Structures are given as structure tokens and as C-alpha cells.
Amino acid sequence: MKYNNIDFNNKNILITGAAGFIGSSLCFYFQNNYPKANIIALDSFRNSETFSNGNLKSFGHFKNLLGFKGQVISGNINDKELIKDLEENFNFDYIFHQAAISDTTVQEQDLMIQTNVNAYEDLLKIAIKHKANMIYASSAATYGDSNRFEVGYEQPNNAYGFSKVMMDNITYKYLKQGVDISIVGLKYFNVYGPREFFKNKTASMVVQFAHQILKGLTPKLFEGSDKILRDFIYIEDIIQANIKACSPKKSGIYNVGTGYARSFEDIVNILQKELEIDNGKEYIPNPYIGSYQFFTQANIETSKENLGYEAKYSMEEGIKAYIPEIKRLFKEEVK
């Protein structure tokens, strides 16, 4: 499905984080809808390196790009030589910047800022030089403990959320200077859907609960999960927002959610219904109190007004659409 009237055929499109969840989904959106688009897929890809928390430094996985026909570049956005090469040897029309350290439990603040903040500004300078519209991933983590999920009410409670606020601040700085490209930051809420599996423990609880259920296990929920409410959004709506952000009425930062908060309890109930398996539920203490968002719900009024964005998938519809891929992953990757 095409989400706007732009013809991306013969356009040069850079997608960073292209072997990740959202980046790879964008790669295939363009490949499937605009076969003559020139897609440059940049990712650092995974190796055995981990952060101090034990999680991988990169979640990029070649399996997310199986069937991709565009150009693939393995590189780290912190590499100044790579940035210079992108600036001098390409001429981009659009940059979709999805690459980031997105693990909210990472303690290496220095690398978090370098990767998420400083490298973004380097890429933004390329976008301005090439006259390429910039669309980048911000995050609902910027809101932290805020009770208003609107731009301007950010209150991050971890280094990741802070880094995304700093990215947004860079955007405002350049917009004030009157750049002649559009810059759109998209604050993703809790995204789930195909191609997230290789995020391992940071993949959504939708796929994690589903595989617990398929293993015959009782899904483990934090105590009080019926009161832990999040705005869960299906990957197709994230793609829709990115594509609509290519031609915004107004540059800026926008929420991308459904506008409805749902509980983790709801996820398990829907999954057990769709999988036709009821293993009950087990409740465990929440070890993340203090750095954990207990409520998120996107205010998407400005997203509707300036991007023409509105979520098309309810949680029931998103999970139902996801079930065939969940079953395939379980059969081919989990067992």
C-alpha cells in the first residue's frame, strides 16, 4: 500500500539501521512499491560485542534483509570516514535515520550520546548539503514520567530518552536557521510486528509473550500489569508515518502511536485468543520501578494535522496480522 503521492522511483534513499526492525521494514516498503528506487541500506550489523548489561551492541541481522535487492553498506555512523564517504560519493533525496542505540537499559552514556546525538547531527548536515528531506526516529521514551504525551512535555528518565530529546533539540536548532529541507522527528511509541525478533530481549512483549505461550509456558506478567498501560503500535503504522513525513505540511517533531493506551494483560488475552491456547498467567515483581514508564498514550492531534497520519491498526488487528509471522519464527528460529 502506498501512503502518499510521491514517486520514489529513481530517488536516492538512505536508510540507516537498515538491518534492524524498522529500517528493514522501510527497505521492503520502497522495494515493493517503487522497484526503481535506489535504496542504500546502512547498518553496523551484529557481532559478538556487548554492552555492560550483556546485550548486543548492534541488533542488525542479515535475515531482516533476505530478498533485498538494493545496496548494503556495513558501517558505524560514528565513523567519520564513513560519514565523509556518504557526503562525497552519494547524492541523497531522502534520509530515513533509524540507526541508534535503542536499548533503554544501556549504561554507557558516552556511547549513547555519541551514537544517537552527535552522529545524527553529522547526517543532518549531509541532508542539508544534498537537499535531502530528513526523517528520523525519536522516541516516546523522551516523555519518561511525564503525564502529558505532547511535544514540549518531555521528562526522560534514562539516558536513551535523554539522547532522543537532544536529537530533537538539534532539529529545532536547524529549523530555526531556516534550512531548505523538511526535517521530521517521529516519536515512536511501543512498536511491534514482523522483523523485530532479532532485537532479542528488547523485542516487544507481543512476540515474547507469544513464544512463551507457544512453548506451553505460562506468560509471566509484572504484578499490576492490568494497570501498566502503553500505546502499542503496529509496524505498518510506523511505515505509514515515515512515508507521510516525507511531505509534511510543517517540519517538526510528531508522536506516532495509536492514541489509545492498552495493558500488557490485553496483549496476553488477545494472543491466547488468536493462538487458541490458554496457559493462564503468572505474576512476578517488577524489577524496573524507578526507570519504567507505567503509562504512555500518544497525543496524535498534530500528527493528524501536519502529516495526515492516523493509526490504521488497533491492537486486536495488529496482533492478528502478526500471528502468521509469530508462528513462522517459532517454527524456524525458536525451536
Euclidean distance between CA atoms 278 and 298, whole angstroms: 31
CB 191 within 8 Å of CB 311: no
Residue from 57, 75, 81 nearest 18 by CA: 75
- Can 160 be counted among the known catalytic residues? yes
Active-site annotation holder among 94, 160, 309, 322? 160
Residue from 310, 240, 322 nearest 29 by CA: 240
**276 contacts: CB under 8 Å, gap ≥ 6:** none
Euclidean distance between CA atoms 90 and 11, whole angstroms: 12
Active-site annotation holder among 11, 187, 199, 244? 199
Beta strands in 82-178 (DSSP E): 94-97, 133-139
- 67: region left, alpha or beta (phi > 0 left; psi from -120 to 50 alpha): left
Q: How many CB atoms lie within 10 A of CB 122?
A: 17
- Can 94 be counted among the known catalytic residues? no
C-alpha pair distances (Å), 319 with each of 98, 208, 269, 296: 23, 13, 11, 19
CB 123 within 8 Å of CB 16: yes
Active site residues: 160, 199
